[in-house]
Amino acid sequence: MIERIVKRDGRIVAFDPQKITFAILRAAVAVGGRDQATAERVTDDAVRMIEASRAGAREAAPGAVPATAADPADYPTVEEVQDAVEKALIERGHARTAKAYIVYRYEHSLKRAGRESLTYSSDNIPYRKLWETLSWAVDHNCHSLAGVRDYVESGRYPDLVDASEAFYDREVTAACDVLRERLDDVRVMIIAGPSSSGKTTTTIKVSEAVGPRRLVPINVDNYFFDLESHPTDGSGDYDYETPQALDLDLINEHLAALLAGQPVDIPFYNFQTGRREGVSSTIALEPGDILLIDSLHGFFDAMTASVPRDAIFKLYIETLAQIKDDAGRFVRWTDVRMLRRMVRDMQFRNHSPRQTLHHWYLVRRAELRYIVSRLKHADAIVNSFMPSELPIMKRRLEPFFRDYLSEADRTGPTDRVDAIDRARRIGELFAMIPSIDGEDAIGPKSLLREFIGGSAYTY
C-alpha cells in the first residue's frame, strides 16, 4: 500500500489518492466528461500499477538493504504516479482525457520552470511549437515508444508513416504561408538548422510551394577556407562545423553584388583536396528572384551582414521530437539527427557510423553555440521529426551499435567518453523500438529519403 510519495524537490509527503482523482476529473472536464466514479476507478488502476511495479523491483533486488522510513528510494515519485495515471487512462480507453492530462502536465512543467508563455524561453526552446507537436502526437498515439510499438506490432506501421508525413507536410505549408505574407519584401531566404534536420528536402518543398517566385540557391559549402586553415582535435579530426570555417567576407561581398543585379562567380571547394579550386558556377538574380541560403549557420549574423534584416526571411528546421521512452524520458533531438547523419554519411559520403559518432561532439558543440542559440530569430519553424523514422534507424544501425558497445566493454576505458555515452543511450533506445522488415512504406518524396536513399529528388 502506498503511504507516501516523493515530491520533485525531494520532500517525502503523505500520499493522497483523492488528488489523483481530482486531476483526472479536471482533465475529463476539459474534454466534456464529469464522471467521478470513472476517475476513481482510473485512480485505483494507477495505484495498482505503481504497487506492482515497486513490488517487482524489490523482488529483482532481494539482497538490497531495506530503506529506512525516511529514505526516498522506498517511495514512488510524483513522476511515477503521473506516468501510471497516463497509462491507466489509455488502457481504459479514455484517450481524449489522457491527452488533456498529458497537456496539463506539460503546461505545469513550464510553470515550475518559471516560463510565462509557450513561445520561447531563455534557452531558446520554442514551447508553443512543442505543445502543438505533443498535442498531435497524443492524438495519433505516438507520444511514446509504446505507441510506436503498437503501430508496428498490429501491422499498422504504414498508417504511422502516413500520419508522420502528413504532419511534416503541414509544417512546411504553414511556413510557406508565413513566407507568402512577406514575398514583396524578401530578397534572401535562409533555411537553417542543425545537422541532418532535413534542410535540403525542406528547401525543395518550399521551392515547389512558392512558385512562380524563383528561389536561386547559393551553395555556401563552396566558401570553406582551405583545409590547412582548419583547426583539428586531438585525433586529427577537422572541425568544419563552425561559421568561422567559411570565408564570411567573400560571402557578403557576393551577396551584395547579387542583390545589386550583378553576376557572381561561385567558387568550387574540392572536398577531396580540401581546397577552393576555380569556379563552380556563375549565378545572377532576375527581377523577383529570391536568393536561397541553405546552411547550418545561416542565422549567424556575420554571414548576411551586407543584407538588410527586413529583406531576409529566416526558416528554421529541427527534429522537435515529443516522444517518451519506456522510462518516461523524452527522446533527444540530437540523437535523432545523429542517427540520420550516420545513415546518410554511410550511404552517400563514404563515412562509417563510427566516424560520424566520434565526430558528433564537434557537431554538437558548434550547433549549441552558433545554431540553437539563434533559433528565436526565426520567422518560421518546421518540425521535421517523424515518429515513423525510429524503426528505420534501428533497422539500419542496430548492428553497428551492438558491435561498438561490445568492443567498448572488452577494451575498457578510452578517451572517447562522449561517443560511448551516446552509443549506450542509443543502445537503450533501440531496445525499446520495434523492428520492421523493410522500408517500402516510405514514399519517394519523403524527407527520410534524403538520408536513407531512394528519393525522387536530386540532392
Q: How confident is the model at residue 154 (pLDDT cuts 50, 70, 90)?
A: very high
Residue 24 is placed in which grid cell? 483526472
Alpha helices, DSSP H, located in 67-209: 78-91, 95-112, 127-139, 145-153, 157-180, 199-209
Please give the Cα distance from 107 to 96 (Å, whole number).
17
Looking at residue 68, its pLDDT comes to 47
Distances (CA, A) of 102 to 41, 99, 111, 276, 423: 18, 5, 15, 53, 30
Distances (CA, A) of 363 to 19, 63, 273, 304, 343: 45, 44, 22, 22, 16
Q: Is 267 helix (H, G, I), strand (E, B) or coil?
A: strand
Q: Which residues of 271-295 are buried (b: 16+ CB within 10 A; e: fewer)?
A: eeebebeeebeebebeeebbbbbbb
DSSP state of 332: P
Calculate ∠ Cα 314-319-323, nearest 5°: 145
* Greater model confidence, 174 or 128: 174
- Cβ neighbour number for residue 42 with a 10 Å cutoff: 28
Looking at residue 206, its pLDDT comes to 92
Calculate ∠ Cα 56-57-62, nearest 5°: 100
- Of the given ranges (78-92, 203-217, 228-242, 283-297), which has the lowest mean pLDDT? 228-242
Q: How confident is the model at residue 237 (pLDDT cuts 50, 70, 90)?
A: low
Q: Is 218 helix (H, G, I), strand (E, B) or coil?
A: strand
Looking at residue 65, its pLDDT comes to 46
Looking at residue 311, its pLDDT comes to 96
Q: Is there a contact between 39 and 89 (Cβ–Cβ < 8 Å)?
A: no
As to burial, measured by CB atoms within 10 angstroms (0-12 exposed, 13-18 middle, 19+ buried), residue 177 is: exposed
- Of the given ranges (132-136, 147-151, 271-275), which has the lowest mean pLDDT? 271-275
Q: Is 227 helix (H, G, I), strand (E, B) or coil?
A: helix
Residue 410 is placed in which grid cell? 572488452
Please give the Cα distance from 180 to 188 (Å, whole number).
13
Please give the Cα distance from 421 to 332 (Å, whole number).
13
Please give the Cα distance from 302 to 314 (Å, whole number).
14
Q: How confident is the model at residue 423 (pLDDT cuts 50, 70, 90)?
A: very high
Bridge-based pairing of strands 312-318 and 215-218 is unpaired
Q: What is the pLDDT of residues 287-310, one digit of tens each?
A: 999 999 988 889 989 999 999 999
| Architecture in CATH of 152-452 | 3-Layer(aba) Sandwich (3.40)
Helices 95-112, 127-139: inter-axial angle, 10-degree rounding = 160
Please give the Cα distance from 218 to 422 (Å, whole number).
34
Domain boundaries, the chain: 4-114, 152-452
Please give the Cα distance from 339 to 331 (Å, whole number).
12
pLDDT above 70 for 347: yes
* Greater model confidence, 433 or 416: 433
Please give the Cα distance from 347 to 435 (Å, whole number).
21
Work out the mean pLDDT of the chain and round it to a whole number.
88
**How large a percentage of the chain has pLDDT more than 90?**
56
pLDDT above 60 for 249: yes
Q: Is there a contact between 185 and 193 (Cβ–Cβ < 8 Å)?
A: no
Please give the Cα distance from 401 to 409 (Å, whole number).
12
Q: Is 278 helix (H, G, I), strand (E, B) or coil?
A: strand
Task: Write the DSSP string, 186-215.
Answer: -SEEEEE-STTSSHHHHHHHHHHHSTTSPE
* Residue in the structure block whose three cell numbers are 580540401: 274
Looking at residue 55, its pLDDT comes to 78
- Cβ neighbour number for residue 32 with a 10 Å cutoff: 9
pLDDT above 70 for 354: yes
* Greater model confidence, 53 or 352: 352
Torsion of CA 109, 112, 113, 119, to 10 degrees: 60
- Of the given ranges (112-126, 221-235, 320-334, 382-396), which has the lowest mean pLDDT? 112-126
Q: Which of 96-105, 218-227, 292-301, 431-440 has the highest mean pLDDT?
A: 431-440
pLDDT above 80 for 442: yes
Q: Which residues of 128-142 are buried (b: 16+ CB within 10 A; e: fewer)?
A: ebbbbbbbbbbebbb
Please give the Cα distance from 259 to 283 (Å, whole number).
11
pLDDT above 60 for 325: yes
Q: How confident is the model at residue 58 (pLDDT cuts 50, 70, 90)?
A: low
Q: What is the pLDDT of residues 68-117, one digit of tens each?
A: 445 667 788 988 898 899 889 988 889 888 888 887 777 666 555 554 44
Looking at residue 286, its pLDDT comes to 94
Q: Is there a contact between 216 and 281 (Cβ–Cβ < 8 Å)?
A: no
Q: What is the pLDDT of residues 359-401, one digit of tens each?
A: 999 899 888 888 887 888 899 999 999 999 999 999 999 999 9
